[in-house]
Structure 1
Amino acid sequence: MHQVERAIFDLRRGLPVLLRDSEQDILVQPIESLDDGVLEHLIATAGEAPGLILSRHRLALLGKSIESETARLPLVPEMLKTERLNELAFGVDSSAIAQDILPASRADHAALTLMRRALLIPAALTARLAKESRETIETLIVQGELLAVEAADAERCFEAANGLLKRVSEAQIPLAEALESRFILFREPDGLREHVAILIGDPAAWQEAVPLRMHSACLTGDLFASLRCDCGEQLRNAVADIDDMGGGVLLYLAQEGRGIGLANKLRAYAMQDEGLDTVDADQHLGFGEDERRYSVAVDMLAALGIQRIQLLTNNPVKIAALTEGGIEVTERQALYGRLTKQNYRYLNAKSKRAGHMLDAVLENYDRLGGK
């Protein structure tokens, strides 16, 4: 998977990569780095006009309903402009498209999987190779100017990291809510994400079913006390609750914005300011309602020798994910932050659209007239 890891960084730098597949090789260019010069170079290199690969969530916004996760939008000449492609990929005010869409190939689907792994907008230009361009492409690969990756490997880029988490460093760090706390940093094999396990209290004195909180990183809420969410309060309340329960573990996971990354989270916030809720905003960008994957949490617990837990969460998906990963969840503890007029819409959407168990706190807020 070393080539896939290199491909992720090339894509984040705005460089194209070649995906090899038995059906057809394709050149992949992320939409995020697109300008007129990049577009012209892609067409000249491939020798064919590209298609636009979009997720089913984004296509639904464009008036196209599909059952598969991705599809290919052929691009007529008048659509081969940076401004138009950007609008199709992640614009707020997108009009329906008239032309038919085509099924995505395995390589097309792998291209969007790489975009997600690279924390880029899940949209990409993919160009088939003209016969007269193949020799040039192979020369670029040999010279190291273009990276070639097997589409099958790219398609597995999320699962390939399972079981390969590396324990890197650790230190004792007293916290305001838990004086006896030890931070252990874990790094994923591609080096893109680092996660932290915070061991609270003396592990020898923990309950048999260890109190556990899985907390997804939220820069705006955790660090800057944003009023748009309750993440920072949930984080500190979790540390205090675990300490009161005799100690346990908080897993601080690098999954900003429900797994879409900080850049896309800020884009989603801008869309929410236009009237969308948190779920619709993510889907307008082409993401699902929750892009997080919890296999990394299972790997961290395995490294810590923890198999039975009491989970502090309002999210049933976390319970299911840990159970599927072989962790026994003996019970659930609710965990809340303050509900305010600034975060009400966000928390209401999590409850009504994503199934989070927040009915009690929402009903109490409504009963008190939003106070």
Structure 2
Amino acid sequence: MYQVERAIFDLRRGLAVVIHDDREPSDAGVLVYPVESIADAELRETLELVGGAPALTVTRHRMEAMGFSTQAEAACLPLRRADGLRAEALYLAAVASDGIGARLFGDPRPAGTSERAALALMRRALLVPAAITAGIDASRRTALDSLVADGRILRVSARAAERCFESGTGMLRRVSEADIPLVESVRSRFILFREPDGLREHVAVAIGDAENWPDEVPVRLHSACLTGDLFGSLRCDCGEQLQNGVRTILKLGGGLLLYLAQEGRGIGLANKLRAYDLQDAGLDTVDADQVLGFGEDERRYRAAVDILAALSIKRVKLLTNNPNKIHALAEGGIEVSARGSVYGRVTRQNRCYLEAKARRSGHLLRDVLDEQ
């Protein structure tokens, strides 16, 4: 896990890493560079370093946005000519809504094990899931091994990288806590949990007196939304859902609100803002995420299960409009004995967003949409 965590931070810093398939002893590995961080000089140096043919590696969703067809979950697009190619053109090829840059590439091929692992690391690092990848030529292997031995570049196994989303399972750490009186609930206590890789911190907000909670503990899983929760963005209903969630839990006798670090349905704030820009160009919230290469919903709820277990909560009334949260808790061994809805207002600015969540993702919003 240690090497994977280092790889995530190196990628976020804009550094290349080597991923090798440890199930193949002869595999020299693939050099991986995050497409959103690379600069022209670094691109040239990287390609000279490994000697292999470079490619843009992207997800199936991004392939479709670029106008390619593939059955593979990820694919590599060979660069037609690497010399003179600018990093900005590769970035636009990975994020633009109109498939710009398709002319830069040859026929796609399915991504290999190391390349798929590279995209998993990108998503875990909250980067655009696209990378410049190049196989390490045999003639450069000794020189690259020397750089790895000197600590100038990190090598990580594909098998470990593929499991990067599972690395924190059961290892969430309770870090600190304090009483925080809220407008909606004066008796509230914040308990902070940190994931092992240090990237994400989640807060359990205990509302009311825990010793007086119902046996069926009211619980709300709220994904962090900086724009809505803090600034009152009209593009979503998150801020009002947060406030209404606290209010509802208190009315039910107290319980728990989990404030989960899952901005933008798990894609991170930077990518969420990119998706907003695409929505302004006419895409709905699901299509915008997929154009960037993400799935319909990148959230995982293992952290929520671990927090509930750490707080000895086994049976809940879940306040949610999202059936996926019910299934996730049930699969994690939490009994969801009842469900309640939590709505915000439907406005001119957020109606399309809410309609897309109901139509495309099965969120239980028809009552409030039809009413308002």
Question: Which bin holds the TM-score, normalised by the shorter protein?
Answer: over 0.9
Equivalent position of 1:368 in the other structure: none
Equivalent position of 1:13 in the other structure: 13
1:158-237 aligned at under 5 Å gives the runs: 158-237=165-244
Correspondence 1:69 to 2:73: yes
User: Secondary structure of the residue that 1:317 maps to in structure 2?
Assistant: helix
Equivalent position of 1:321 in the other structure: 328
Equivalent position of 2:89 in the other structure: 84
Quick check: 2:28–2:141 contact (8 Å CA) kept in 1?
A: no
Equivalent position of 2:108 in the other structure: 101
Quick check: 2:43–2:87 contact (8 Å CA) kept in 1?
A: yes
Inter-partner Cα distance in structure 2 for 1:271 and 1:184: 36
* Deviation readout 1:213-241 (Å, 9 max, x if unpaired): 00000000000000100000000000000
Amino acid at match of 2:153: L
Which of 32, 50, 53 lines up with 1:49 in the alignment?
A: 53
Inter-partner Cα distance in structure 2 for 1:305 and 1:28: 42
Quick check: 2:219–2:249 contact (8 Å CA) kept in 1?
A: yes
Inter-partner Cα distance in structure 2 for 1:49 and 1:72: 11
**Distance 1:24-1:137 versus aligned 2 partners, 3 A rule:** closer
Quick check: 2:28–2:138 contact (8 Å CA) kept in 1?
A: no
Inter-partner Cα distance in structure 1 for 2:14 and 2:272: 20
User: Secondary structure of the residue that 2:265 maps to in structure 1?
Assistant: helix
1:204-353 aligned at under 5 Å gives the runs: 204-353=211-360
Correspondence 1:115 to 2:119: no
Please report the RMSD computed on the Cα atoms of aligned residues, expressed in angstroms: 1.2
User: Secondary structure of the residue that 2:167 maps to in structure 1?
Assistant: helix
TM-score (norm: length of structure 2): 0.96
Inter-partner Cα distance in structure 2 for 1:52 and 1:24: 19
Inter-partner Cα distance in structure 2 for 1:231 and 1:217: 8
**How many residue pairs align between the two structures?**
365
- Residue range with higher mean Cα deviation, 72-81 or 243-252: 72-81
Inter-partner Cα distance in structure 2 for 1:209 and 1:364: 29
Shift of 1:143: 1.1
Inter-partner Cα distance in structure 1 for 2:70 and 2:210: 50
Inter-partner Cα distance in structure 2 for 1:66 and 1:80: 25
Amino acid at match of 1:210: V
Amino acid at match of 2:285: T
User: Secondary structure of the residue that 1:49 maps to in structure 2?
Assistant: strand
User: Secondary structure of the residue that 1:360 maps to in structure 2?
Assistant: helix
Inter-partner Cα distance in structure 1 for 2:70 and 2:299: 23
* Deviation readout 1:23-67 (Å, 9 max, x if unpaired): 450110000112211110110111123111100110011222323
Inter-partner Cα distance in structure 1 for 2:20 and 2:115: 11
- Residue range with higher mean Cα deviation, 165-174 or 81-90: 81-90
* Deviation readout 1:233-290 (Å, 9 max, x if unpaired): 0000000000010000000000000000000000111111111111111011000111
Inter-partner Cα distance in structure 1 for 2:85 and 2:361: 37
Inter-partner Cα distance in structure 1 for 2:173 and 2:73: 31
User: Secondary structure of the residue that 1:14 maps to in structure 2?
Assistant: coil
Amino acid at match of 2:131: A
* Deviation readout 1:95-122 (Å, 9 max, x if unpaired): 5557421111110000000000000000
Shift of 1:160: 1.3
Equivalent position of 1:356 in the other structure: 363
- Residue range with higher mean Cα deviation, 123-132 or 107-116: 123-132
Inter-partner Cα distance in structure 2 for 1:43 and 1:55: 22
Inter-partner Cα distance in structure 1 for 2:347 and 2:137: 57
| Structure 1 portions without partners, runs of 5+ | 366-371
Amino acid at match of 2:318: L
Which of 20, 33, 36 lines up with 2:37 in the alignment?
A: 33
Inter-partner Cα distance in structure 2 for 1:99 and 1:26: 19
Inter-partner Cα distance in structure 1 for 2:110 and 2:135: 14
Amino acid at match of 1:189: P
Amino acid at match of 1:184: I
